[in-house]
Amino acid sequence: MCGRFALTQPLDVLTDLFQATPDNDLPELPAYNICPTVPVATVRSDAGHRRLSAMRWGFLPHWYKTPGDGPLLFNARAETLARKPAFRDACRSRRCLIPASGFYEWTKDAEGNRLPWYIHAPDHRAMAFAGVWQDWERDGQRLRSCAIVTTAAEGAMRQIHHRVPVVLAKADWALWLGERGHGAAVLMRAAPEDALRFHRVAPEVNSNRASGAQLVAPL
């Protein structure tokens, strides 16, 4: 799973990297401790024109009467994405990229203490998580929301957690966004083992209120 992540690259770097037009509602960057229910930067494609815009991290199915009406769907399992009622339509026609510099996972020591890890690309470049999105509207309230697609971890990552976000290679972004036709299902797999690095970080990040570059520093 992925319950926290970081995005530290500045806006101009992201717009150039994703070749996307930025909207005015983007969250402030850098952000070292992004949690579910907050706005996150996403990339979606409209007939090949990419937009970098904010969406609520926490997918809202159309039948939710309020944003808190059901489970908080911040992750979507790749194995069931096309079948689950909440996600199946979005899987076909509303896919997005969710930029990230890295994400956090936790293990436990012998005493049950939560030990945080930071997982990132080898060169600390921005990554793109596979995502799905949905517009939700009820009683005049409208929200655009998203979820990160996850899959089974491979290799050394399994030491930390059995699930990881689907990290898409740059060459696959267009296919996931629907700009190159059909066939995006083949992309829902774990990244190659050499595509991710991880290190322990201080327990300060255990609090969702913590912030600052020190959260990603090696312990």
User: Does residue 123 belong to any structural domain of this protein?
Assistant: yes
Using the CB atoms, write b or e for 104-130: b if 16+ within 10 Å. bbbeeeeeeeeebbbbbbeeeebbbbb
- What per-residue confidence (pLDDT) applies to 167? 97
User: Does residue 191 belong to any structural domain of this protein?
Assistant: yes
User: Does residue 141 belong to any structural domain of this protein?
Assistant: yes
DSSP calls for 130-168 = EEEEEEEEETTEEEEEEEEEEEE--GGGGGT-SEEE-BP
- What per-residue confidence (pLDDT) applies to 2? 86
Total number of domains constituting the chain = 1
- What per-residue confidence (pLDDT) applies to 10? 96
Average pLDDT over residues 77-87: 97
Average pLDDT over residues 47-64: 96
User: Does residue 219 belong to any structural domain of this protein?
Assistant: no
User: Does residue 216 belong to any structural domain of this protein?
Assistant: no
Q: Residue 13's pLDDT band (boundaries 50, 70, 90)? A: very high
- What per-residue confidence (pLDDT) applies to 194? 85
Q: What is the DSSP letter of 213?
A: G
Tokens 């201080």 identify what position? 202
Task: Encode pLDDT of 119-158 as tens digits.
Answer: 999 999 999 999 999 999 999 999 999 999 999 999 889 9
User: Does residue 153 belong to any structural domain of this protein?
Assistant: yes
Q: What is the mean pLDDT of the chain?
A: 96
Catalytic residue ranges: 2, 105
Q: Residue 35's pLDDT band (boundaries 50, 70, 90)? A: very high
Rounded CA separation 28/13 (Å): 14
What is the domain range of residue 78?
5-203
User: Does residue 211 belong to any structural domain of this protein?
Assistant: no
pLDDT of 7 higher than 80: yes
Task: Encode pLDDT of 89-125 as tens digits.
Answer: 999 999 999 999 999 999 999 999 999 999 999 999 9
- What per-residue confidence (pLDDT) applies to 75? 98
Domain of 31, CATH number, reads 3.90.1680.10
**Helix, strand, coil percentages in the chain from 3-state DSSP, rounded to 5:** 20, 40, 45
User: Does residue 148 belong to any structural domain of this protein?
Assistant: yes
Cβ atoms within 10 A of the Cβ of 149, count?
Answer: 26
pLDDT of 1 higher than 80: no
pLDDT of 173 higher than 90: yes
